[in-house]
Amino acid sequence: MGYTGENVGEPLDTVSHMVTNLPTEQRIFLTGQLLSLLLAFLFRWYLPPSTCGTSQRHFVAFLLGICLSFYCFGWLAFFVIGEVVIGYILLLIADPRKVQVYTLLMSMGYLTVFHIRRYSYPTDEELDLTVPLMMLTQKISKVAFEYHDGIGRTEKSLSPSQRRLAIQFRPSLLTYLSYTLGFLGLLAGPVCSLNDYQMFIQGSEKCKNPGATVYKKLCLCSVLLAAHLSLSDRFLLSYDPQRSVAVTFFYLYLAGATRRPKYYFAWTMADAINNAAGFGFNGITEDGTEKWDLLSNLNIVKIETATSFKMFIDNWNIQTSIWLKEVCYDRSPFNPVISTFILSAVWHGVHPGYYLTFLTGIPITLAARRVRNNIRPLFQGTAMSQAVYDVATWFCTQVVMSYTVAPFLLLELGQSLQLYRSLGFCFHILPLLVILLLPKNKKSNSIGESVNNPTCDRNYNHLKKQS
């Protein structure tokens, strides 16, 4: 029912009707995040670091996280706590030179068990437990790697970013519980470094009221939620032999574009929750404006106007990309591109569509790098040629990305292969031809750069440590 203007309360009634008729899983997530937002404001107002000790703030954040876990997951919350306990035990007993390997294997194995459970018994009557476990996998493994860098390696062997993130002392149990199970990032993250989290709890950064920033992000969340509720089911991915190739690609684009607001909403809301608690400050711009983007997980404008595969990835799920770079790409003993894509696929779940999407992304990533290095310089002569190149590459990026993520949306292998077959596997074959025909530029950017500059390299807190 649309809004006719005859009843002032009708818009609110319509929104209320849509929200109350959400699947149980989505309703629990939404109410859980709204509750977290309220708790974040209260945390900043009544437990400021100026009057409360670090231990008190850690304990309250942890306690609120436990309560939120049981509200959202019921008795399954014990499995969330269980992974954290195992992770801390590994920090206590494992050799610092190997603790990061054991922890990553444990956390990924633990997560995969629940991915299999979700795959075998799908339901929308409970909030997906793999959501917080995915966040915990990042946090637990991230702490282990940073602890390994600080204790198990020499300073000379560390890269600049690893040196800045390294943890020189094993975190206390309370600090660890607050970081992993705290209410701020329990349901949707984003993951952050332990050093940044401790600076927030200790109140090391003096910043002004984040109210205006939170208000803007919440207004954006309202628009994104409305877009999700009204658009998410409009375009269903399915093979239709009556459609031409062009129409099929158009549907792929619409299907992907109308599902993105769900992720935009979740990540923007998560960012706003942390900001409401006073976490996320990232310095001041040259014009004196405070930046609250330390934990931001996306840049919507850059995603929708991306002119390259790299630019799209750089601005999508930013903190997860940084985690992948830190724990995998920078340390992989074999091809870092392949190993990073495989780890990302396993982290997402066990549905065949995830693996097909990420395996498809490997040659596309390599081919896109060749195209950029060999073709782009030819169009940099004039403003007109640059504009033509940007428009053409935006169109190509949207088409290729829609093709790549289709299995991610379909999930099933049979449907995904049927769709790709109808399109002649065009963006599997074309990237291989590009890799074979275009020369490799030795100065090309690595995926380490394409998976974002690390947080610490654009992080005000870590830049201060260097000065």
Set 148, 228, 348, 351: catalytic member: 348
Active site includes 373?
no
Phi-psi region of 296 (alpha: psi -120 to 50; beta: other; left: phi over 0): beta
d(CA 270, CA 318): 13
Using alpha carbons only, give the angle 418, 437, 431 rounded to the nearest 5 degrees. Answer: 25
The count of C-alpha atoms lying within 13 angstroms of the C-alpha of 295, restricted to the half-sphere facing its C-beta, is 29
Q: How many CB atoms lie within 10 A of CB 414?
A: 10
Q: Which two tokens stand for residue 159?
A: 């890269």
The set of residues, in sequence order, having a beta carbon less than 8 Å from that of 2 and lying 6+ positions away, is 14
Rounded to the nearest 10°, the torsion over CA 442, 443, 447, 450 is: -160
Torsional class of 214: left (φ above 0), alpha (ψ -120 to 50), beta (otherwise)? alpha
Q: Is the peptide bond before 363 cis (omega within 30 degrees of 0)?
A: no
Tell me the C-alpha distance between 210 and 310, whole Å. 31
383 DSSP 8-state letter: H
Burial of 329 (0-12, 13-18, 19+ CB in 10 A): buried
282 is catalytic: no
State the DSSP code for 378.
Answer: G
CA distance readout (Å), 375 to 369, 378, 381, 430, 431: 10, 6, 12, 15, 14
Name, in order, each residue with C-beta under 8 angstroms of 291's C-beta and a sequence gap of 6 or more. 281, 282, 283, 284, 285, 460
Q: List 298's β-bridge partners, or say none.
A: 316
Alpha helices, DSSP H, located in 236-351: 245-276, 300-304, 309-314, 318-324, 336-348
What Rg, from alpha-carbon coordinates, does the chain have?
Answer: 23
Of 195, 274, 317, 461, which residue is the catalytic one?
317
Burial of 50: CB neighbours in 10 Å, binned 0-12, 13-18, 19+: exposed
Instruction: Give the residue numbers annotated as catalytic, written as ranges.
Output: 317, 348
